[in-house]
A = this chain, B = another copy of it.
Amino acid sequence: MSDLLQRLRGRGWRLTSQRRVVAEVLDGDHVHLTADEVHLRAAERLPEISRATVYNTLGELVTLGEVVEVSTVGRAKRYDPNARRPHQHLVCSGCGAVRDVHPVGDALGDLPEAERFGFTVGSVEITYRGLCPACS
C-alpha cells in the first residue's frame, strides 16, 4: 500500500496527512470497511479528520481505480482496496461480513452473444450470498 501513495503522487495527488491516514487504514487483505468504519479508524490516528474528507478521499480512490465499491443490499457501501487483483465476494446475509473469493470458470464468456443486446460488455461482478459460520 505504501507504493500506492507514490503512485497517487505521480498522478498529481497532493499528499496530505488525511489522505495518508485513509490509505493506511485501507491497507491489508480482506479489508471491506464502510465509510464510517474508515472514518472511525482514521480518527484514531488523526482525531480531527472529518467525515466529508473521508468520503471525498474514498471517492477519489474509486475514481482512480485503486479501490472498489462493493455493492450491498440495503447496507452501507463497503470499500475494497484490493482492486488490482481481480476477485469476487462472498457476503454473509446475517451479519454482512465480506470475504474475497476466486471462483474458477469464465463468467464473462458464459454470457452468450444473443444475451448481450448489443451492449459492449466490459466486466462482471459476482456476489455469492450465504451464512458465515458464526451466523448459521
The answer, yes or no, to whether A52 is at the interface (CB within 8 Å) is no
Please give the count of copies of this chain that the complex contains.
Answer: 2
The answer, yes or no, to whether A125 is at the interface (CB within 8 Å) is yes
The A interface, classified by DSSP as helix, strand, loop or mixed, is loop
Closest to A118 in B: B133
Whether A104 pairs with B99 at a CB distance below 8 angstroms is no
User: How many Å lie between the Cα of A111 and that of B107 in the bound state?
Assistant: 12
Whether A119 pairs with B90 at a CB distance below 8 angstroms is yes
User: How many Å lie between the Cα of A24 and that of B43 in the bound state?
Assistant: 49
The answer, yes or no, to whether A61 is at the interface (CB within 8 Å) is no
Question: Which residue of B108, B118, B124, B127 is within 8 Å of A71 (Cβ)?
Answer: B127
Whether B74 pairs with A69 at a CB distance below 8 angstroms is yes
A104 CB, min distance to chain B CBs, angstroms: 5
A78 CB, min distance to chain B CBs, angstroms: 10
Task: Collect the chain B residues with CB atoms within 8 Å of residue A115's CB.
Answer: 90, 101-103
Most chain B CB inside 10 Å of its own CB: which residue of A99, A115, A116, A132? A115
Binding site for B on A (CB under 8 A): 69, 71-74, 77, 90, 92-93, 99, 101-108, 110-112, 115-133, 136
